């Protein structure tokens, strides 16, 4: 949609239709992977791509998390495509990369609008606005529609201040926010993400599945929001914003699942923060999936206190194969400290029901929690042994920006946080526990050792991986190579532990 007489703008655009370059940046670019990592498609960026295209803009989406784009290739693409708008998107741990690419985009394309987007841009816009910053604007909270409106305003020469849901730099330093945009209640009216962009084998979740044929992963969010106040939880760890729950209709979700099936997906990960938070709605969705005759396998994550045996059996009947739970701790005192609002008994029940329903079980634990002692951590290890998961991950308490802990207790010191080091999987950035850091690291290695090397875990692990081996040889070889690397690192005294695949 070209316009012969465009409005005069700072960026001197010649058309009302923009070329938009959406770039998701990996957290640890140019660093060899130490262990298998899930790579999930950036579906909200996919929705933004769809919204932008629906408005007549030309979109390129590049996701460096897939590992298929080297930095110089992305730079060459920017040179070649010369987009009008460059959106760099990533989480807190990607901050150094976001800043680096922002500068590159500004140098290559002095007239382009350079946008910061994603969880860190929401939690700490100030990190993007400084003397000589390459960024013109940052999106805030849910960014799909603000991004589309922002591009629209830019190409029409309208002031960016007219777009709700943005942070803008101030000439004298700092930033201001435009009026907040209410979180969208009616999620059914959002277009589906452009899933075509994400149908590639690099998008993979290493959780066990029951898929014997080729595993082609799709990603769906059926709800947004989480009303819980967990102390460590920030947008960097969550998939959605806001405490208020917002749900899509069963029909809308099954339409998207059918679309994914048509594209060739064989297994879908439901990215909801708490998939089963509304029991009746989950049952209705399972019923709709069955009535629609969808033959997809799917996985999800939820809370241990949001399941029961009947619900899990209904999920199994509707194609669910794996459920993940954030168990975090086996110490009732630490669960209180973490404001988890869950008991050890909830975790044990959920694990037993998950197994009884015929589902695979993935669990996550946290060490080094505020005030935690060695005996608290022993309780967590003992609980993990009783739960006996198919796969686990043991991380460290980390004060991510945006978490209640960061906002209430750590904001001041947080100014000195090194985002390059903010991985809760294998580093202790700041230690709030009563256990020395070396001891925490040793305990993590022991935790993995005692679970992974148990004959039952090992036998089940091998059985699960072998199930889809012939049809997924490439992915499984990568998984085994990285798992072996991880095992070597984690089990060798004196070496830094890495995260177990999750
Ligand atoms: S950890 Fe889970 S339950 Fe707790 S606040 Fe985060 S998303 Fe919600």
Cα 273 to ligand 1 centroid, rounded to whole Å: 7
List of residues 6+ apart from 295 with CB closer than 8 A: 261, 319
Of 177, 195, 222, the position where a domain reaches its end is 177
Among protein residues, the one with the nearest Cα to ligand 1's atom 2 is 273
Are 290 and 316 within 8 A, CB to CB? no
Atom of ligand 1 nearest to the CA of 229: 5
Start-end of H helices in 3-42: none
Residue 199 inside a domain? The answer is no
Among protein residues, the one with the nearest Cα to ligand 1's atom 6 is 233
**Residues 382 and 487 reside in one and the same domain:** yes
Cα 442 to ligand 1 centroid, rounded to whole Å: 27
Among protein residues, the one with the nearest Cα to ligand 1's atom 7 is 273
CB distance 271 to ligand 1 below 6 Å: no
Residue 296 inside a domain? The answer is yes
Sign of the alpha-carbon dihedral angle for 347, 350, 353, 359: negative
Among protein residues, the one with the nearest Cα to ligand 1's atom 4 is 230
Atom of ligand 1 nearest to the CA of 238: 7
Task: Specify the pLDDT at position 490.
Answer: 66
Of 114, 142, 177, the position where a domain reaches its end is 177
Residue 443 inside a domain? The answer is yes
List of residues 6+ apart from 336 with CB closer than 8 A: none
CA-to-CA distance for 200 and 204, rounded, in angstroms?
9
Length of the chain: 502
Measured between alpha carbons, how far is residue 90 from residues 83, 165, 390, 432 in Å? 19, 18, 30, 27
SS3 489: helix
Residue 36 inside a domain? The answer is yes
CB distance 273 to ligand 1 below 6 Å: yes
Of 177, 195, 227, the position where a domain reaches its end is 177
Give the Cα-Cα-Cα angle 287, 225, 268 (nearest 5 degrees): 45
Atom of ligand 1 nearest to the CA of 227: 8
Residue of 225, 273, 346 to test ligand 1 pocket, by largest number of atoms within 8 Å of CB = 273
List of residues 6+ apart from 106 with CB closer than 8 A: 112, 114, 134
Q: What is the CATH number of the domain that holds 55?
A: 3.40.50.280
Domain holding 395, by residue range, is: 204-491
Residue 188 inside a domain? The answer is no
Q: How far is CA 86 from the centre of its chain?
A: 21
Residue 198 inside a domain? The answer is no
Sign of the alpha-carbon dihedral angle for 447, 453, 456, 461: positive
CB distance 43 to ligand 1 below 6 Å: no
Residue 66 inside a domain? The answer is yes
* Residue 496 DSSP class: P
Are 25 and 94 within 8 A, CB to CB? yes
**Residues 213 and 108 reside in one and the same domain:** no
**Residues 278 and 335 reside in one and the same domain:** yes
Q: Which residues of 145-158 are buried (b: 16+ CB within 10 A; e: fewer)?
A: bbbbbbbbbbbeee
**Residues 172 and 212 reside in one and the same domain:** no
Q: What is the CATH number of the domain that holds 455?
A: 3.80.30.20
Residue of 228, 346, 403 to test ligand 1 pocket, by largest number of atoms within 8 Å of CB = 228
Measured between alpha carbons, how far is residue 440 from residues 10, 417, 467, 488, 497 in Å? 53, 20, 35, 19, 11
DSSP letter string, 391-408: EEEEEE----TTSHHIII
**Residues 340 and 412 reside in one and the same domain:** yes
Residue 135 inside a domain? The answer is yes
Q: What's the number of domains the chain is made of?
A: 2
CB distance 226 to ligand 1 below 6 Å: yes
Tens place of pLDDT for every residue, the chain, 502 residues?
A: 333 333 434 444 445 799 999 999 987 655 555 566 789 999 999 999 999 999 999 999 999 988 888 889 999 999 999 999 999 999 888 888 899 999 999 999 999 999 999 988 998 899 999 999 999 999 999 999 999 999 999 999 999 999 999 999 998 888 999 999 999 999 999 999 999 999 998 899 989 999 989 999 999 999 999 999 999 998 777 888 899 999 999 999 999 999 999 999 999 999 999 999 999 999 999 999 999 999 899 999 999 999 999 999 999 999 999 999 999 999 999 999 999 999 999 999 999 999 999 999 999 999 999 999 999 999 999 999 999 999 999 999 988 888 999 888 877 766 666 655 565 666 777 899 999 999 999 999 999 999 998 999 999 988 888 888 888 888 888 778 877 777 777 666 554 433 333 2
Task: Specify the pLDDT at position 499.
Answer: 34
**Residues 332 and 458 reside in one and the same domain:** yes
CA-to-CA distance for 170 and 133, rounded, in angstroms?
11
């Amino acid at each position: 949609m070209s316009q012969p007489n465009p409005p005069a703008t700072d960026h001197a655009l010649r058309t009302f239709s923009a070329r938009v370059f959406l770039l998701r940046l990996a957290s640890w670019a140019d660093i060899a992977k130490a262990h298998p990592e899930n790579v999930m498609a950036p579906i909200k960026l996919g929705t933004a791509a769809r919204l932008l295209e629906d408005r007549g803009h030309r979109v390129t989406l590049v996701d460096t998390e897939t590992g298929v784009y080297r930095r110089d290739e992305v730079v060459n693409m920017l040179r070649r495509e010369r987009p009008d708008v460059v959106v760099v998107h990533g989480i807190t741990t990607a901050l150094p990369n976001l800043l680096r690419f922002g500068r590159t985009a500004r140098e290559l394309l002095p007239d382009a609008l350079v946008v910061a987007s994603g969880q860190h841009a929401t939690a700490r816009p100030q990190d993007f606005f400084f003397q000589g910053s390459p960024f013109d604007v940052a999106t805030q909270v849910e960014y799909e529609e603000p991004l589309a409106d922002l591009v629209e305003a830019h190409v029409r020469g309208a002031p960016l201040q007219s777009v709700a849901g943005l942070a803008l730099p101030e000439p004298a330093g700092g930033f201001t926010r435009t009026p907040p945009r209410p979180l969208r209640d009616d999620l059914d009216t959002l277009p589906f993400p452009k899933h075509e962009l994400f149908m590639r084998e690099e998008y993979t979740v290493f959780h066990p599945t029951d898929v014997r044929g080729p595993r082609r992963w799709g990603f769906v969010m059926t709800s947004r929001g989480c009303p819980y106040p967990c102390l460590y939880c920030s947008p960097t760890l969550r998939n959605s914003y806001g405490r208020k729950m917002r749900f899509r209709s069963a029909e809308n979700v099954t339409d998207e699942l059918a679309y994914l099936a048509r594209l060739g997906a064989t297994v879908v990960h439901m990215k909801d923060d708490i998939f089963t938070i509304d029991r009746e709605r989950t049952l209705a969705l399972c019923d709709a999936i069955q009535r629609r005759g969808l033959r997809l396998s799917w996985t999800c994550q939820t809370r241990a206190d949001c399941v029961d045996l009947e619900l899990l059996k209904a999920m199994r009947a509707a194609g669910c194969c794996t459920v993940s739970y954030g168990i975090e701790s086996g110490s009732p005192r630490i669960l209180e400290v973490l404001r988890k609002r869950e008991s050890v008994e909830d975790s044990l029940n959920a694990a037993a029901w998950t197994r009884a329903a015929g589902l695979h079980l993935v669990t996550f634990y946290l060490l080094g929690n505020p005030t935690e002692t060695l005996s608290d951590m022993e309780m967590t290890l003992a609980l993990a042994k009783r739960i006996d998961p198919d796969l686990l991950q043991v991380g460290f308490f980390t004060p991510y920006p945006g978490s209640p802990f960061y906002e209430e207790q750590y904001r001041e010191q947080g100014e000195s946080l090194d985002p390059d080091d903010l991985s809760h999987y294998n580093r202790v950035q700041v230690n709030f526990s009563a256990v020395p850091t070396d001891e925490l690291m040793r305990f993590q290695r022991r935790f993995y050792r005692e679970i992974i090397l148990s004959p039952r875990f090992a036998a089940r692990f091998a059985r699960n991986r072998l199930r889809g081996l012939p049809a997924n040889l490439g992915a499984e070889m990568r998984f085994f190579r990285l798992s072996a690397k991880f095992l070597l690192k984690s089990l060798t005294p004196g070496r830094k532990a890495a995260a177990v695949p999750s």
